[in-house]
């Protein structure tokens, strides 16, 4: 029984790996790290735990529906979707395969580890602020990312806009091949 359940969970993960992200259809919801857990709860019942990328991401409802549809099509009658906020989603959860797919699609993948960005730099701050979260707001605490152009590979690139067509992306331009491109921000 245990072995059968194990097998089916792996099967469900494989099915979900074919569910595309609605905004960036070249990568799947599994590649993005949105699917956090899969549990087989009965003969035709599955519970899928997902986490939102950004609080206001308008794609979350679409993702939920897509996951549900995909499993219904595989004959799973009861699909329970659980939304989990903590631990909060991070681009560190994006699969290496997903990063390659993003780059091939023309979107530069995150070039930093989000966990590195949590480094507290309190230099230049007042004594009263030298504890807790203060460093994260220091305006120069974090060096800007080195972003490689997904078209020509040059790192001679420049930020055009901190925000792009979706909350997760910034706009860059390549100073060598002159092409504009999206950068999937480290979060």
Partner 1 sequence: MDAKTNYLLRLGDNALVLSQRLSELCGKGPALEEDMALTNVALDLLGQARMWLTYAGELEGRGRDEDALAYRRDAHDFTNVLLVEQPNGNYADTLMRQFYFDTWHYFLIGALTKSSDERIAGIAEKSLKEVTYHLRRSGDLVVRLGDGTDISHRYAQTAADELWMYSGEVFNYDAVDDAMVAAGIAPPAAHLRQQWLDHVADIFAEATLTMPPADAWMQKGGKQGRHSEHLGYLLAEMQFLQRAYPGAEW
Count of residues in contact with partner 1, rule CB under 8 A: 29
Binding mask of the shown chain, residues 48 to 87, with x at each position contacting partner 1 by CB under 8 A: ----x-xxxxx--------------------------xxx
Q: Which range binds partner 1 by CB under 8 A, 16-24, 34-42, 99-107, 132-140?
A: 132-140
CB of 81 to partner 1, least distance (A): 15
How many residues are recorded in the chain? 187
Q: Counting contacts by CB under 8 A, is residue 163 touching partner 1?
A: yes
Contact criterion met (CB below 8 Å) for 111 and 146: yes
Residue closer to partner 1, measured from CB, 20 or 52: 52
Question: Phi and psi (nearest 5°) for 18?
Answer: -100, 0
- 35-42 and 45-50 strand pairing: antiparallel
Q: Counting contacts by CB under 8 A, is residue 143 touching partner 1?
A: no
Question: Starting at the edge strand that comes first in sequence, how are the strands of the sheet with 107-108 ordered?
Answer: 107-108, 180-184, 169-174, 157-161
């Amino acid at each position: 029984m245990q072995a059968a359940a194990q097998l089916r969970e792996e099967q469900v993960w494989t099915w979900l790996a074919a569910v595309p992200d609605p905004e960036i259809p070249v990568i799947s919801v599994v590649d993005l790290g949105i699917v956090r857990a899969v549990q087989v709860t009965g003969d035709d019942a599955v519970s899928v735990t997902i986490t939102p990328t950004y609080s206001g991401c308008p794609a979350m409802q679409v993702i939920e529906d897509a996951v549900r549809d995909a499993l219904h099509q595989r004959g799973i009658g009861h699909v329970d979707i659980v939304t989990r906020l903590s631990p909060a989603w991070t681009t560190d959860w994006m699969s290496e395969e997903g990063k390659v797919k993003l780059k091939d699609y023309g979107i530069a993948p995150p070039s930093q580890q989000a966990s590195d960005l949590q480094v507290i730099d309190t230099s230049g701050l007042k004594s009263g602020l030298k504890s807790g979260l203060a460093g994260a707001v220091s305006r120069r605490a974090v060096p800007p990312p080195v972003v490689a152009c997904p078209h020509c590979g040059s790192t001679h690139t420049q930020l055009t806009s901190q925000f792009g067509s979706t909350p997760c992306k910034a706009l860059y331009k390549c100073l060598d091949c002159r092409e504009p491109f999206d950068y999937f921000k480290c979060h």
